[in-house]
């Protein structure tokens, strides 16, 4: 998918002050769906996903990659069926926008075909990292891995073999790639220091349905018994916890009244504690959360591995802090460079400073509408939320970034009374 097609209908949002009220259902998780799509490469049999966020731009990119690998994908509202038209080649030929999930296709291809070659995600070069964990995973399983002409390549002519994989820190992507590759490796694999989080458990659940034998031993390790063949699966994608948090925070900062259906309470225990202690008013009714405004107070938080606050969530808390009277402090030790969105919020009048790994926000002053740019997915949603509370209209350029990860975003926002439209 090229960016011109992504941006059809206007590449910006016009956001005006508005109060969110009504009912909204959480879609399937982007960070789970993409991994499940990659897992379909491991089997020639059909894979069917329900609660599938079919409008996500990143999901559409991944589907196009699967089709380039010989898969036939039929998508309708909330469902996708993936069948195999031909055996996959080892080399992914794809000229569109590359995404981080491409690296998981490398692991799946190498496991199934004995070799793989995929375009590197934009800006990703091995020399820029102290450790490239995807390379570490595949090399541990016996593959030779190298970079060539903007591609990452791997080969294991005799197949992958089970191994002890020691991850130097908890990495979601490395854990996922290790799981995908190890399912078809010969013998047992032990993944030490994995990142156990809801999306990982969702992937493990589907791989189990396909016939993989996987044992999770807490945060210590995962044991995978390699097999010769995996079958098909029918699987429901878990709800998106970042989307759920978005509607909750949006309701609070706009003084709204929102009922959020399919709310993943078990996956958001720590963020919910922070929000309740900082003035958010919400209630549980079965699988629904009812948010009724509240008065935001400043928050102090540090991102960390699950069940802590994920780095994807910190831009949402930054906007929450901007609406609070007093100083909010956010520490993101994993991705401190992610504070770039604060400069865009600064165009709206946010009073902030960045000191090393620390983002300090002095809230309580109403933001003003401005021309801003969505630098990435989570930065984009932070700017939209800020625009709902600002004085005057806000124009958020590169709106397609938001639609990489929010299913039916504009429709859901407008149904809640949010003044957000393409322009």
Instruction: Please write the tens of the pLDDT for every residue from 350-377.
Output: 999 999 899 999 999 999 999 999 999 9
CA dihedral 128, 130, 131, 132 (to 10 degrees): 0
Query: What is the homologous superfamily of the domain 30-236 according to CATH?
Result: Enolpyruvate transferase domain (3.65.10.10)
pLDDT category at 99 given cuts 50, 70, 90 is confident
Q: How far is CA 164 from the centre of its chain?
A: 27
What pLDDT score does 239 carry?
98
Which pair of tokens denotes residue 29? 């998780």
Is residue 261 within 8 Å of residue 288, measured between CB atoms? yes
What pLDDT score does 121 carry?
81
**Residues 6+ positions from 392 with CB-CB distance below 8 Å:** 16, 17, 368, 369
Q: How far is CA 18 from the centre of its chain?
A: 27
Taking Cα atoms as reference points, which of 367, 370, 366 lies closest to residue 397?
A: 370
What pLDDT score does 127 carry?
34
Instruction: Report long-range pairs for 348-352 (Cβ below 8 Å, ≥24 apart).
Output: 348/372, 348/383, 348/386, 348/387, 348/390, 348/394, 350/322, 350/386
What pLDDT score does 122 carry?
58
What pLDDT score does 3 carry?
40
pLDDT category at 125 given cuts 50, 70, 90 is very low
CA dist 223 and 81 (Å) reads 29
Residues of the chain with CATH 3.65.10.10: 3-27+239-422, 30-236
pLDDT category at 221 given cuts 50, 70, 90 is very high
The residue-averaged pLDDT of 290-312 equals 94
SS3 per residue for 276-304: HHCCEEEEEECCEEEEEEECCCCCEEEEC
The residue-averaged pLDDT of 255-263 equals 98
Fold for 3-27+239-422, please state it: UDP-n-acetylglucosamine1-carboxyvinyl-transferase; Chain (3.65.10)
The continuous run of DSSP H or E covering 319 comes out as helix 314-322
What pLDDT score does 130 carry?
39
Residue 293 predicted with pLDDT over 60: yes
**Residues 6+ positions from 130 with CB-CB distance below 8 Å:** none
Taking the chain, what is the end-to-end CA distance rounded to the nearest angstrom? 21
User: Residue with structure tokens 């999770």?
Assistant: 216
Residue 287 predicted with pLDDT over 80: yes
Query: How many other C-beta atoms lie within 10 A of the C-beta of residue 286?
Result: 8
- Range in 8-17, 102-111, 320-329, 387-396 with the lowest mean pLDDT: 8-17
Q: What is the mean pLDDT of the chain?
A: 93
pLDDT category at 189 given cuts 50, 70, 90 is very high
Q: Determine how β-strand 144-148 pairs with β-strand 47-50.
A: unpaired
Which pair of tokens denotes residue 137? 């995973």
What pLDDT score does 402 carry?
97
> How confident is the model over 143-159, as pLDDT tens digits?
999 999 989 999 999 99
User: Count of residues for the chain?
Assistant: 423
Is residue 141 within 8 Å of residue 181, measured between CB atoms? yes
* Catalytic positions: 124
CA dist 90 and 115 (Å) reads 5
CA dihedral 167, 32, 230, 77 (to 10 degrees): -170
pLDDT category at 1 given cuts 50, 70, 90 is very low
What pLDDT score does 201 carry?
98
Residue 124 predicted with pLDDT over 50: no
For residue 128, cis peptide bond before it (omega within 30 degrees of 0)? no
CA dist 246 and 406 (Å) reads 10
């Amino acid at each position: 998918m090229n960016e011109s097609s992504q941006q059809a209908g206007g590449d910006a949002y016009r956001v005006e002050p508005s109060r969110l009220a009504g009912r909204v259902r959480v879609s399937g998780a982007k960070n789970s769906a993409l991994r499940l799509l990659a897992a379909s490469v491991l089997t020639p049999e059909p894979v069917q996903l329900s609660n599938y966020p079919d409008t996500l731009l990143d999901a559409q990119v991944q589907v196009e990659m699967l089709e380039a690998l010989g898969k036939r994908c039929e998508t309708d509202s909330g469902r996708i069926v993936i069948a195999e038209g031909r055996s996959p080649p080892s080399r992914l030929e794809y000229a569109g926008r590359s995404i981080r999930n491409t690296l998981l296709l490398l692991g799946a291809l190498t496991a199934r075909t004995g070799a793989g070659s995929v375009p590197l995600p934009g800006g990703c070069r091995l020399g820029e990292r102290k450790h490239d964990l995807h390379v570490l995973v595949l090399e541990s399983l016996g593959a030779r891995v190298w970079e060539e002409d903007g591609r990452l390549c791997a080969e294991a002519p005799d197949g992958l073999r089970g191994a002890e994989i020691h991850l130097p820190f908890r990495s979601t992507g490395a854990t996922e790639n290790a799981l995908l590759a190890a399912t078809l490796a010969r013998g047992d694999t032990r993944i030490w220091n994995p990142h156990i989080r809801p999306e990982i458990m969702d992937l493990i659940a589907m791989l189990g349905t396909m016939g993989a034998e996987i044992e999770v031993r807490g945060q210590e390790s995962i044991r995978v018994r390699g097999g010769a063949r995996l079958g098909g699966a029918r699987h429901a994608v878990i709800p998106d916890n970042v989307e759920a948090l978005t509607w909750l925070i949006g309701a609070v900062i706009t003084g709204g009244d929102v009922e959020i259906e399919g709310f993943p309470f078990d996956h958001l225990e720590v963020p919910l504690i922070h929000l309740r202690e900082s003035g958010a008013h919400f209630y549980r009714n079965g699988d629904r959360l009812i948010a009724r405004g509240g008065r935001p107070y400043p928050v102090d938080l540090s991102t960390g591995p699950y069940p802590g606050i994920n780095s994807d969530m910190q831009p949402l808390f930054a906007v929450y802090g901007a609406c609070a009277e007093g100083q909010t402090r956010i520490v993101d030790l994993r991705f401190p460079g992610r504070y770039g969105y604060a400069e865009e919020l600064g165009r709206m009048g946010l009073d902030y400073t960045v000191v090393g790994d620390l983002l300090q926000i002095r809230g309580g002053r109403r933001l003003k509408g401005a021309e801003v740019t969505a630098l990435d997915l989570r930065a984009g949603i932070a700017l939209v939320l800020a625009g709902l509370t600002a004085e005057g209209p806000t124009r958020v350029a590169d709106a397609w970034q938001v639609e990489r990860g929010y299913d039916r975003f504009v429709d859901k926002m407008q149904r809640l009374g949010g003044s957000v439209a393409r322009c």
